[in-house]
Structure 1
Amino acid sequence: MNTMAITRLPAQGRQLFPGIMACGVVAAASTFLSQHYGAPVMLFALLVGLAMNFLSGDGVCAPGIGFTARELLRVGVALLGLRITAAQVVALGWQPVVIVIVAVVVTITVSMVVARLLGFQSLFGLLTGGATAICGASAALALSAALPAHPQKERATLFTVIGVSALSTFAMISYPMLAHWLGLDHHATGVFLGGTIHDVAQVVGSGYGISRETGDVATLVKLMRVAMLLPVIVFAAMLTRARTGPGAARPPLLPWFAVAFALLVLVNSTGWVPKGLQDFGSDVSRWCLVAAIAGIGMKTQLKDLATVGLKPILLMVGEAVFLVVLVLGMQHFG
């Protein structure tokens, strides 16, 4: 887009354009680095975004960076609905569905309780527990969008995304070895990997690295966890409304992006959505989420992350271990 084209944009568009482009450049660079070095793209987006946080000051990029971190995040979450169909959930059978529902509910509940015991707000436990139990960085971003504004919210979100990305990378490498050591068959291994590894891409990579059957089962179980994002977002919105002070504007019970997510799941379940459109929507969702986390990184100061302390790290590691033990226990006794 040349200078003349930019000047013809509406005033708000011209104001947002530099920051959105900056986030887009970081997203493209992060995708390139992820494809060549194998690390999670969200982690690269965070690190590169943090390195460019000088752009989020009072310069021309600040409005667009804020828009990307806030609004494009919601668009990306809504488009996650194109990954899921009702038929995929039914194809799992009842046992994996029960395992997923119980694992998500119990992990989040325990995380909220432990967070309070450690001196944090229970909403921080909801954020970290939801990221661990549902779908990693995508869930952290979605839940952050539904939670009330707070001076520490962006810092907590950034810490959660960094932590869950690191844990997911470790899980992708170590969990298949754990499943082999435990003697799980291909189907059971698929349920275990899909029920515990945080990020969708890493579930796919670890599952199909073992066998086609394991990969198919792991992917379906993981998509079921992604589907749990909607009720958890509704729960987060209910908590936000309940904690809104008297006289303040109450947020909607169902954020628009949660409604859009549900509608896209329903439409996708009809079979009317072509495969090409599903893939396109999934790609747009990924780009929006990567750009949004780049924007959050740009808005965060490194010195803020350096003060998080040991307790949040122990909380997230404990959540990951708890989820592994819970899923393996339900598989064994189910």
Structure 2
Amino acid sequence: MNSDLDTDAAAARALFQSLEGMEGLHRPEPAPAAKAQRFPGQAALTKLYPGVLVAGTIALASTWLSQHYGAPVMLFALLLGMTFHFLHQEGRCIPGIEFSSKAILRFGVALLGARITAGQILSLGITPIVTVMIAVVSTILLGAFLAKRLGLRQGFGVLSGGAVGICGASAALAIASVLPRDKDGERDTILTVVVVTALSTIAMITYPLLTAALHLDQTKAGVFLGGTIHDVAQVVGAGYMISPHTGDVATYVKLLRVSMLLPVVFAIALLAARMLPGGRGGAKPQLPLFLVAFAALVAVNSLGWLPKAGADAATEVSRWCLVTAIAGLGMKTSFKDVMTAGWRPVALMVVETAWIAGVVLVAVEWFL
């Protein structure tokens, strides 16, 4: 049984503790007991979900804005993401933002394979296939060559040439994921996506007028549009603006360019590891798993094992993943960093765009 003395001692201890708190003195708290995980991966999920949630919310807002105002969704995601750059400077969102801009990006690129079948590519005939291969490879080589002459990093020339030559923002993200990491890499990726999206939108408006001025028939116009416009959505918009047949041909040619993503990204990964600054010298590069998944989906879809509903679902998930990744990449980059790039990167991408248009136009006029 407690005595009065014990009661007084306890009251005095409580009084002194309250006085410590009033004076601002720090009282060490007992360490909280470690909570048992309710399911595997709970710790990782808890760490990642704030940043992923923010990136997903930006992707959702960008999609709504794109649907209501008709501007490219990737551009909205980039600009909105960059306004939330402060979330990547400190705080709980950093791990999730990094995860969105890397892991979710690669998953989205892998799912692009669900769009393509070997039958679609072979149905075009040999001339469009050869034309696309020459146009893509020559545009990347031109970018690497001119980048050094303009005082830019050679890696930027490869990145911008691949984005212009293959499929715009999606290709830029895929190529950036295998290039050597450096302090300017993320800024260059953001700049490439912004410029290639703007150029693609301009091309969607002007190229149908160009095909009419050159008196190209519907098939030739489809090959030209699919072989030159950067983003898939803009190709579809420009093609069906002319006719359903032109839209179908343009879409198939564009998917042929998308299929070049696998060999081109792997070749860039191989060469970057050996030749570009920041690479691993003579180290043997490994085939990125997302490219393996991309190739597997192309094969499965070509064999007819992937139902149309599954292919459509994979395409939609891929779109959401890429928009989320763009939002994450935007949050990692500040407007100030992008503005320091100057006019040379923009000039390079304009020249690359004019080059691929010229190559495809010559092929269409003389060999198709």
TM-score by length of 2: 0.87
Which residue in the other structure is 1:284 paired with? Answer: 317
Give 1:12 deviation, angstroms. 1.2
**Is the alpha carbon distance of 1:23 and 1:228 closer, same or farther for their aligned partners in structure 2, counting shifts above 3 Å?**
same
Give 1:300 deviation, angstroms. 0.4
Which residue in the other structure is 1:262 paired with? Answer: 295
* Residue identity matched to 1:320: T
Q: Secondary structure at the match of 1:209?
A: helix
Which residue in the other structure is 1:329 paired with? Answer: 362
Contact 1:240 1:251 in 2 (8 A): no
Structure 1 runs (4+) greater than 2 angstroms displaced? 5-9, 243-253
Select which of 274, 286, 295 maps to 1:242: 274
**Is the alpha carbon distance of 1:44 and 1:226 closer, same or farther for their aligned partners in structure 2, counting shifts above 3 Å?**
same
Which residue in the other structure is 1:189 paired with? Answer: 221
Measure the CA separation in 1 of the matches of 2:84 and 2:40: 28
Determine whether 1:233 maps to 2:265. Answer: yes
Measure the CA separation in 1 of the matches of 2:47 and 2:279: 34
Q: Secondary structure at the match of 1:191?
A: helix
Q: Which has the larger radius of gyration?
A: 2
Q: Structure 2 regions of 5+ residues with no counterpart?
A: 1-36
Determine whether 1:164 maps to 2:196. Answer: yes
**Is the alpha carbon distance of 1:11 and 1:194 closer, same or farther for their aligned partners in structure 2, counting shifts above 3 Å?**
same
Give 1:240 deviation, angstroms. 2.4
Provide Cα deviations, 1:17-68, integer angstroms capped at 9, x if missing partner: 0000000000000000111111111000000001111111211111100111
Measure the CA separation in 1 of the matches of 2:212 and 2:343: 32
Measure the CA separation in 2 of the matches of 1:135 and 1:227: 10
Contact 1:234 1:253 in 2 (8 A): no
Determine whether 1:47 maps to 2:79. Answer: yes
Higher helix share: 1
Which residue in the other structure is 1:31 paired with? Answer: 63
Measure the CA separation in 2 of the matches of 1:112 and 1:127: 9
**Is the alpha carbon distance of 1:189 and 1:233 closer, same or farther for their aligned partners in structure 2, counting shifts above 3 Å?**
same
Q: Secondary structure at the match of 1:215?
A: helix
Measure the CA separation in 2 of the matches of 1:100 and 1:54: 41
Q: Aligned runs of 1:89-238 on 2, under 5 Å?
A: 89-238=121-270
Provide Cα deviations, 1:176-223, integer angstroms capped at 9, x if missing partner: 000000000000000000000001011111101111110010000000
**Is the alpha carbon distance of 1:122 and 1:57 closer, same or farther for their aligned partners in structure 2, counting shifts above 3 Å?**
same
Contact 1:241 1:253 in 2 (8 A): no
Which residue in the other structure is 2:305 paired with? Answer: 272
Give 1:165 deviation, angstroms. 0.4
Which residue in the other structure is 1:81 paired with? Answer: 113
* Residue identity matched to 1:134: I
* Residue identity matched to 1:126: V
Aligned CA RMSD, in angstroms, stands at 1.8
* Residue identity matched to 1:119: G
**Is the alpha carbon distance of 1:118 and 1:266 closer, same or farther for their aligned partners in structure 2, counting shifts above 3 Å?**
same
Contact 2:128 2:253 in 1 (8 A): yes
Q: Secondary structure at the match of 1:146?
A: coil
Contact 1:84 1:227 in 2 (8 A): yes
Give 1:252 deviation, angstroms. 3.3
Which residue in the other structure is 2:88 paired with? Answer: 56
Measure the CA separation in 2 of the matches of 1:31 and 1:129: 27
Q: Secondary structure at the match of 1:135?
A: coil
* Residue identity matched to 2:71: A
Give 1:251 deviation, angstroms. 6.8
* Residue identity matched to 1:323: I
Contact 2:59 2:324 in 1 (8 A): yes
Q: Structure 1 regions of 5+ residues with no counterpart?
A: none
Give 1:312 deviation, angstroms. 0.6
Measure the CA separation in 2 of the matches of 1:169 and 1:55: 30
Number of matched pairs: 330
Contact 2:180 2:279 in 1 (8 A): no
* Residue identity matched to 1:48: L
Measure the CA separation in 2 of the matches of 1:247 and 1:50: 31
Which residue in the other structure is 2:48 paired with? Answer: 16
Select which of 311, 316, 320 maps to 2:349: 316
Contact 1:6 1:14 in 2 (8 A): no
* Residue identity matched to 2:98: G
Contact 1:7 1:14 in 2 (8 A): no
TM-score by length of 1: 0.95
Measure the CA separation in 1 of the matches of 2:40 and 2:289: 30
